Amino acid sequence: MRPGPLVIDTHELGRRPGTERTYDLTVPAPAELGVDLIGVPEGSDIAIELRLEAVMDGVLATGTASVHLVGECVRCLTEIQDDLVVDVQELYLYADASEEELQLEGDLLDLEPVLRDAVVLALPINPVCDPECPGLCPECGARLADDPDHTHGEAIDPRWAALSQMTDPESGDTPDGPKE
C-alpha cells in the first residue's frame, strides 16, 4: 500500500480490543470521486471525523466525511453546487482475511475505497438544480425557468402544412386558386 492522505497508521491502537483513537482530518479529494453528472472536484477539501477502535478481528473505522459537490442539472444543464455529509463504517480485518474483505496491510488502513463507496452511493442519480426545474425548451433550447411564459405558437402538423398554405392570405393563394 502506498502512503497517501487517506492511509492511516493504526500502530498506536496495537491489537488490544477496546483501544480507540479519534481523528479530525482535512484531506484533498482523490481523482474521479463521483459520477459523470456530479462529483467531488479533485483536490477539494474533504473533512473527515473518524474513530478507529481495535476489536478482536481488526480495526473498526466509524465516522463522517463532508464533501463539496459540483455537477450539472439533468433538466436545464446549469451548474449545481452542494455539500454532502456521508457516514462511513467499515471493519478492516487483520492480515488473515479473505480477499473479499478489507484488510489492514501491516498497521496501515486505506480509507479511500470506503470513502469512495459512501460518497458515490449517496449521490443523486439525476441531479437537479430545483425539484420543480422545468428544464429546456425542446424546440429552441431556452431555459424555461428563466422565461416561464416561453412559447413558439401553435405547432402545425407537417402533414397538414400544405393545407394551411392554401388559406394563408400572405401566400397569395386561395382555395379557388392563385390570385391574379
Residue 101 has pLDDT above 80, yes or no: no
Residue 180 has pLDDT above 60, yes or no: no
Q: How confident is the model at residue 162 (pLDDT cuts 50, 70, 90)?
A: confident
**150 lies in some domain:** no
Q: What's the rounded mean pLDDT across residues 5-10? A: 82
Q: At 134, which amino acid appears?
A: P
pLDDT, one tens digit per residue, over 35-75 is 989 999 999 999 999 999 988 888 899 999 999 999 999 99
At 94, give phi and psi (nearest 5°): -65, 165
> Cβ atoms within 10 A of the Cβ of 92, count?
24
**106 lies in some domain:** yes
Percentages helix, strand, coil for the chain (3-state, rounded to 5) are 10, 40, 50
**146 lies in some domain:** no
| Domain count within the chain | 1
**54 lies in some domain:** yes
**81 lies in some domain:** yes
**104 lies in some domain:** yes
At 126, give phi and psi (nearest 5°): -125, 90
Q: State the cell numbers at 36.
A: 459523470
What pLDDT is attached to residue 99?
56
Place of cell 455529509: 85
What pLDDT is attached to residue 81?
94
**137 lies in some domain:** no
Residues 6+ apart with CB under 8 A from 126: 37, 74
pLDDT, one tens digit per residue, over 15-36 is 778 888 898 999 999 998 999 8
**37 lies in some domain:** yes
**Residue numbers of the domain that contains 65:** 7-122
What pLDDT is attached to residue 28?
92
